[in-house]
Structure 1
């Protein structure tokens, strides 16, 4: 014992490196992205103890793990019947119209990797700020008759959040079935409010609860989706959470965001996706009926595919779909994202597109809500500028929209950022829309946002200080871990 006391630090250091070397071997066998692999190896070997903590919190890989199992939902007879009704074979896809033929390769990719059907009978409304979204959502919630399904990364019981929670409590008391999933890291609801929800009959579950949620803002495998479904007829998806931060009438800093309201067949896909998460958080307490999938009465024809990704999917569906969309572009690619920390595949695709005389424009925040994300984003811009990509920094406030519009025929709105976490770790959902009218609306919003940006020019960007370059390099190295 005396020897242990005298050499405690040497023993702890030796133990640390035994565990660190074991972790390094585990990382190498995972065959993950080389940049991410190198980042973990450096942290594990250079920073004793801290490296092990970082790896424990962020380094575990659960893709295909049994803890994220969708079979219980997908094997339900009601869900099987709904999927059969949504079935569109290859011949049908090619005969829908000329527009779908242009992007049929992308449609087939999502179908083959995630069994995601393209739906036709949809009406889609574009929403460009939180105030408008809440106005529409509250009206739909007030009109709910059978059920309300909520799955959000962030719900807070601040001013707008309390109004939302009070409303769903009142609907639950009226007899409407209300199911709500909140991410335990992103959301913040007081014990008093949770008791009120429970007493009102709202079924509330936390997604992957953690011990100290306030101090684990970047804990792995978070439910980053923002889904609302009302009576199986109306669905919402996009970047806008339920908090005062997203409401410009409550927020000192202007918040630019994008969401969509969907009525039609695509809501069925959102419903099935919600049930897969509900099955996980409720430990299989499912009661799916045909009432959750009412007959579609929409006459409009907006083709839409719901793409989901996360550790419960075999492939990085959203990233792969974006890669295919970019590499198949012929005229222009307009991207808006709050966090641009892409993998090598996306960077190369954008560089090749720009060098092929395709117009590529990217909007990112000038000042982010995360300093490390801001510096990591900046580390990628020089190579893009050299390839001819036009990069713009949003200056009016903070841009949180996650949108892409390509060639006036394809667009996407969703929850996925262009970063490692959205591509590989978090649970995300995007709507892929094949419609000229909707794409023109999104393109118009993009052009409008350009009025509130500063363009970055290569000749001035390369002259930024060495200090900034060093911080960017360090942030880029840490980005895959955060």
Structure 2
């Protein structure tokens, strides 16, 4: 605000040279003040989160010019309603119909590991809030770390015969990124239909050559929410954080890994990248396909749908899954609500791996309540940051969770990016959703909710192995942390509601 007054003073002193400058400046100055007042009113009326409302109002009051710019870039949510109306251009009637049918049958049907009331209520919730039907005839392959994910992904792409659908938050123009590009070009030239969505902000460093070479080969490529200035855009708020691949409608991939060398541990910053992805075959692929096609039809303004994208499969194995999409276009915060239901229903254990520990208020209360009631709550987080403010916001929540009896561990063998929750060996979820406000309330995300015991046991084995690479936080020691850390935590906590 000082800079505005300095400018005003300077112009007033030189106004005799040009009276019109003073008039223009006065008009701009009052327009700016009116904008500030209007934004304050909008924040007060629209924002249902009191802490976020107070945070934005304080920023606008104390640093109005910077606060005004920040709100224009990051804070506005006026597009959310228009998104919910415009994005669902091609909801799959078959899946919506299946969800409606299952809603009426959930109390009567018998499914593996669904007899438990916890699972039936969780499945009912997801049927209602996400319109996500459950599927039984599936085969799940847990892919631990990048080497396993990319080996399986490349093999599937090489075997593709009809179509390849790819959607990623981050695609990098590096060794593995160019290997994927080469394969997509090769398949497109052989007549396979290749469609690619990349997030315009997450992949803003992706070169024009990379994209143009794909297009020249016949690959259809579209950015999600393209922006002229990725670092200075209001559309930063609504990012597509999903990682989906569907090959021929029969094999699907979902999880935490983007496309880039760093996800293979080839990074100067992190010597090892720990992550989890899923390869799914069977009926659940239809849900991944539907989510991709909804996103594709939105970004391309095409209408792509049809039975050829939902072919019959030969899977006879049984693995109960629901695939859930959530985002600004959703009527409900489906994944957040499913996380809350899982936590609230736990009687034995809640095991979580997340790169960011900034849960919104209800999940924070769920974790503390579970631990205080005797549930074994364990959370693995990274020991080093990849995003400064989120890291310190995560650190700011540790003491309160430790006091409630939650056990928190720092992963020491590189950076851990897995997004996993396991509850009571009854249900688990793997996907793209971090335990932070941005993922849970703003980004477009997708998670697999799994009720298959062998898969849950496999995830538990990975979790136990990860614990062996961790140091546990001790409450007494953590309370004695450096004053500098407490200041950074306070800063991270202050910034976190602004997301």
Q: What is the correspondence of 1:8-157 to structure 2 with a 5 Å cutoff?
A: 15-61=31-77, 62-66=79-83, 69-74=86-91, 79-84=92-97, 87-92=101-106, 94-97=108-111, 99-102=113-116, 103-157=119-173
Q: Structure 1 residues 39, 10: closer, same or farther in 2, change over 3 A?
A: farther
Does structure 1 conserve the Cα–Cα contact (< 8 Å) formed by 2:83 and 2:328?
A: no
Instruction: Report the equivalent of 2:277.
Output: 259
Q: 1:429 and 2:446 equivalent?
A: yes
Instruction: Report the equivalent of 2:328.
Output: 311
Q: Structure 1 residues 377, 4: closer, same or farther in 2, change over 3 A?
A: farther
Q: Secondary structure at the match of 1:124?
A: strand
Query: In the TM superposition, what whole-angstrom CA distance separates every residue of 1:42-89 from its partner, at most 9, and x where no partner exists?
Result: 111111211111101111213332575244302xxxx32354457434
- What is the CA–CA distance in structure 2 between the aligned matches of 1:230 and 1:22, rounded to whole Å? 48
Cα deviation, residue 258, structure 1 = 0.6
Query: In the TM superposition, what whole-angstrom CA distance separates every residue of 1:457-476 from its partner, at most 9, and x where no partner exists?
Result: 11111112333212211211
Does structure 2 conserve the Cα–Cα contact (< 8 Å) formed by 1:16 and 1:48?
A: no
Instruction: Report the equivalent of 1:302.
Output: 319
Does structure 2 conserve the Cα–Cα contact (< 8 Å) formed by 1:316 and 1:424?
A: yes
- What is the CA–CA distance in structure 1 between the aligned matches of 2:378 and 2:20, rounded to whole Å? 61
- What is the CA–CA distance in structure 1 between the aligned matches of 2:231 and 2:273, rounded to whole Å? 23
Q: Secondary structure at the match of 1:213?
A: coil
Instruction: Report the equivalent of 1:405.
Output: 422
Q: Secondary structure at the match of 2:48?
A: coil
Does structure 1 conserve the Cα–Cα contact (< 8 Å) formed by 2:157 and 2:247?
A: yes
Does structure 1 conserve the Cα–Cα contact (< 8 Å) formed by 2:73 and 2:232?
A: no
Instruction: Report the equivalent of 2:10.
Output: none
Q: What is the correspondence of 1:337-352 to structure 2 with a 5 Å cutoff?
A: 337-352=354-369
- What is the CA–CA distance in structure 2 between the aligned matches of 1:83 and 1:67, rounded to whole Å? 16
Moved more, 274-283 or 235-244: 274-283
Cα deviation, residue 93, structure 1 = 5.8
Query: In the TM superposition, what whole-angstrom CA distance separates every residue of 1:7-59 from its partner, at most 9, and x where no partner exists?
Result: 98887665433322211110111132112112211111111211111101111
TM-score by length of 1: 0.94
- What is the CA–CA distance in structure 2 between the aligned matches of 1:130 and 1:334, rounded to whole Å? 22
Q: Structure 1 residues 98, 161: closer, same or farther in 2, change over 3 A?
A: closer
Q: Secondary structure at the match of 1:196?
A: helix
- What is the CA–CA distance in structure 1 between the aligned matches of 2:233 and 2:476, rounded to whole Å? 40
Q: Structure 1 residues 395, 450: closer, same or farther in 2, change over 3 A?
A: same
Moved more, 466-475 or 204-213: 466-475
Q: 1:327 and 2:341 equivalent?
A: no
Q: What is the correspondence of 1:344-383 to structure 2 with a 5 Å cutoff?
A: 344-383=361-400
Instruction: Report the equivalent of 1:396.
Output: 413
User: Which has the larger Rg?
Assistant: 2
Does structure 2 conserve the Cα–Cα contact (< 8 Å) formed by 1:149 and 1:178?
A: yes
- What is the CA–CA distance in structure 1 between the aligned matches of 2:472 and 2:31, rounded to whole Å? 51
Q: Secondary structure at the match of 1:63?
A: helix
Q: Secondary structure at the match of 2:170?
A: coil
Q: Secondary structure at the match of 2:81?
A: coil
Q: Which runs of 5+ in 1 are unaligned?
A: none
Q: Secondary structure at the match of 1:222?
A: coil
Q: 1:281 and 2:302 equivalent?
A: no
Does structure 1 conserve the Cα–Cα contact (< 8 Å) formed by 2:323 and 2:446?
A: yes
Q: Secondary structure at the match of 2:291?
A: helix
Cα deviation, residue 106, structure 1 = 0.8
Q: Secondary structure at the match of 2:195?
A: strand
Cα deviation, residue 180, structure 1 = 0.6
- What is the CA–CA distance in structure 2 between the aligned matches of 1:413 and 1:168, rounded to whole Å? 26
Q: Which of 151, 164, 184 is matched with 1:168 structurally?
A: 184
Cα deviation, residue 217, structure 1 = 11
Query: In the TM superposition, what whole-angstrom CA distance separates every residue of 1:104-144 from its partner, at most 9, and x where no partner exists?
Result: 11111111112110111110110110111000000000000
Q: Which of 270, 286, 311 is matched with 1:268 structurally?
A: 286
- Root mean square deviation of aligned Cα: 2.0
Q: Secondary structure at the match of 1:228?
A: strand
Instruction: Report the equivalent of 2:8.
Output: none
TM-score by length of 2: 0.91
Cα deviation, residue 433, structure 1 = 0.3
Aligned pairs, number: 477
- What is the CA–CA distance in structure 1 between the aligned matches of 2:378 and 2:71, rounded to whole Å? 36
Q: Secondary structure at the match of 2:286?
A: helix
- What is the CA–CA distance in structure 2 between the aligned matches of 1:217 and 1:197, rounded to whole Å? 28
